[in-house]
Amino acid sequence: MVDKEKTIRLCLDWDGTLTKKDTLHLVAAIGYDCNRDANLTPWDDIVQAYLSDYKQHKEGYTPPADQRKAGDGAARRESNWLASLKPVETRSIERVQAAGIFKGVIKQDVELAARLAVQKHKLQFRTGWRTLLMYHQKSAAAPSVSILSVNWSATFIQACIEAAFQFSASGMESTMVASIPVCANELPLVERRPDSCISTSTDKLEMLRQLRKDGDFIVYVGDSATDFDCLNAADVGICVRDDPMGSSQQELKETLDRLGFETLRLSSEAYKETGCYVFDGANEGKKRKRIIWWVEDLDEISKFIEEIHGHT
């Protein structure tokens, strides 16, 4: 059980975790809609340039993935690989800047696009999202919620959440939702140096460290390799998996398997029995293996929190 005097700080990824799918294309569409009369570089060209750059970097990186396996320093080596992607992500943002995709975009454009995306079901939340976000309370010992994302617009994320609550939430709930910290980038990206943007697993880990307060019990929820460092650093790391798994989920699974992590279906019973480590029976020294838990929907996480911490 978790000490009830401690605050459970629930840190959530956005794309593919709170939402069913990635939303970057919806954010990009805001720029294209606002600059429809301009001769902009097609979005597919931006994506393909990024994928080509990523592939080239991956092929030249040492040590390659098949040499980054379980053993002493395995997690550190993987973290180094993820940190090495910063120049790839920076060059991609520079391409977007050079193309002028978000030229003239203002906050109201982003908020309107977010509301329409939710209203027209272009963006869909995962089952259980509402209950999970409702854990954001001001009581010192209650679970508190933050969103950590490499998404390009914190305004877009906040407006999507507010729109989703709009027709079902009371005034108190709406006020509470508006106070949830969203740690992400912001449009227009031209106002920031590309290398200062939040774009890698390392960047997200730094955000997590800034959010953590003495006595916090961190529960982190993500779905992709960009969440690896936070999943590993949290008191409880939880990954979301669909059936069948999407490409990002599969990549994270393969990473965790390759590094020798134990992945178990989340349950309070298993957690109370093992905590977040199990002994590796195949290892003569009985070294502990880090457990990363997995769920199919967010209701499982709410149930887990209630059962280990007593909040309803």
Q: How far apart are CA 157 and CA 13, in angstroms?
A: 11
Judge whether 132 lies within some domain.
yes
Q: What are phi and psi of 56, to 5 degrees?
A: -65, -45
Listed residue (92, 106, 100) closest to 199, CA to CA: 92
Which tens digit of pLDDT belongs to each residue from 273-299?
998 888 776 665 556 789 999 999 999
Which tens digit of pLDDT belongs to each residue from 183-240?
999 987 655 677 789 999 999 999 999 988 877 899 999 999 999 999 999 999 999 9
Judge whether 2 lies within some domain.
no
Q: Would you list the DSSP string of 80-112?
A: HHHHTTHHHHHHHHHHHHHHTTTTT--HHHHHH
Q: How many domains is the chain built from?
A: 1
Judge whether 18 lies within some domain.
yes
Kindly report the number of other CB atoms within 10 A of residue 156's CB atom: 29
Provide the whole-model pTM: 0.93
Least confident of 12-21, 110-119, 267-276, 284-293: 284-293
Judge whether 139 lies within some domain.
yes
Distances (CA, A) of 225 to 20, 47, 82, 88, 93: 16, 18, 8, 15, 19
Judge whether 213 lies within some domain.
yes
Residue 258: domain span = 8-309
Least confident of 13-22, 108-117, 207-216, 279-288: 279-288
